[in-house]
Amino acid sequence: MNTQHYTLVLGASGNLGGKVLQELLKRGEKVAAIVRNREKLHEFEGQIEILEGDFHDDRFLQSAFSQAKALFCTIPDAALGSPETAAERLIPILEASPIQHIVNISNATLKRNGGYTALIRFERALSKLKGIALKHLRCANFFENLNWGIHTPYLPDLRLPYISSYEIAHVAANYLQHKNFDGVSTVELLGERDYSMSELAAHVGISYTQLPYSDENIGFYQPFNEGNFELVTRTDQNTSSPAEERFTLDYFIRHDLKL
Ligand SMILES: NC(=O)c1ccc[n+]([C@@H]2O[C@H](COP(=O)([O-])OP(=O)(O)OC[C@H]3O[C@@H](n4cnc5c(N)ncnc54)[C@H](OP(=O)(O)O)[C@@H]3O)[C@@H](O)[C@H]2O)c1
């Protein structure tokens, strides 16, 4: 394989992909990033290869993948309407590329309303890939979800696992750098502990108000409130104790919470 090949980051202008990009650069990796509007990555001009294009454009992906040795994959939300179709589209493009290792972002919420969640469906469909090492990271809720609003339709005392996206990015970059995996495997990242919305709001210094459902969000929140979901079971192996300050909830609240 050409040693000049890069590690390619999908979603590099986003919350998690941006942090993976930074982590790879810190490790001295040669990096390329896919972005729909290169302006969003202007601070990285000259440091990385910026590939302007759309995930839904097969020819663009073929070209971007053709110079890659490894891929950080976050499937765009728009493709999650039909995760199997997205995976079936990607598999031949990936198998024809020099990519040898993929880290894919998946979900610690396995089922909702009796069916697999979209990221788990994508995980299962992508796992049919042949000849490329594939590591799925089944991630808990990101602390960043608090930026969607502290007050939500979640029941005040419903406890769910939360994790720092800095921690996920750190784990992803380690796998992409060391390439110490083969076949298809999953890693569960549940963070330090579970939190209820009441507890999270208290950490921010406010009192939680449960909001009514809207037509748009009832399908998401109601199954959680009614216990109609299945999560990865918390164990010692998938529970982390923050190895760095930036992996903590307090750091998120001080630096990244936008209220
Ligand atoms: N939030 C959670 O609790 C949670 C838990 C588990 C897993 N996840 C998963 O984690 C992943 C990353 O989350 P995030 O917070 O980093 O998301 P994010 O900040 O919304 O970033 C999404 C990225 O995808 C890019 N993108 C969207 N559509 C695209 C397209 N058609 N072509 C190319 N790029 C496109 C966006 O680029 P533009 O700048 O061009 O829009 C952006 O860089 C998602 O797959 C999410 O489902 C989230």
For each successive 10 residues of the chain (259 residues), what is the average pLDDT? 83 98 98 98 97 98 98 96 98 98 98 97 98 98 97 98 98 98 98 98 97 97 98 98 96 95
Whether 108 is covered by a domain: the verdict is: yes
Residue 148 sits in a domain whose CATH number is: 3.40.50.720
In a domain, 213, yes or no: yes
Answer left, alpha or beta for residue 152, where phi above 0 means left and psi between -120 and 50 means alpha: beta
Using the atom order of ligand 1, give the atom closest to the CA of residue 37: 40
For residue 24, the CA-to-ligand 1 centroid distance in Å is 18
- For tokens 């995930």, the residue is 55
pTM over 0.85: yes
pLDDT at 2: 54
pLDDT of residue 31: 98
Ligand 1, closest atom to CA 16?
16
Q: Is residue 129 part of a domain?
A: yes
For the chain, the first-to-last Cα distance in angstroms comes to 47
Residue 180 has a pLDDT of 97
| Contacts with 186 (C-beta within 8 Å, 6 or more apart), sequence order | 106, 123, 135, 136, 137, 138
**How crowded is the C-beta side of 225, counted as CA atoms within 13 Å?**
16
Residue 156 belongs to a domain: yes
- Domains: count for the chain: 1
Assigned domain for 59 exists: yes
CA angle 180, 23, 65 (to 5 degrees): 65
Show the domain range for 11: 6-255
Using a CB cutoff of 8 Å and minimum separation of 24, what contacts does 182-187 make?
182/133, 183/133, 183/134, 184/127, 184/129, 184/134, 184/136, 185/134, 185/135, 185/136, 186/106, 186/123, 186/135, 186/136, 186/137, 186/138, 187/135, 187/136, 187/137, 187/138, 187/238
* 187 occurs within a structural domain: yes
Q: Which two tokens stand for residue 7?
A: 């590690």
How far, in Å, from the CA of 75 to the mean position of ligand 1? 7
Q: Which atom of ligand 1 is nearest to the CA of 55?
A: 32
Q: Is residue 12 part of a domain?
A: yes
CB 145 within 8 A of CB 164: no
The answer to whether residue 1 is domain-embedded is: no
- Residue having the nearest C-alpha atom to atom 7 of ligand 1: 107
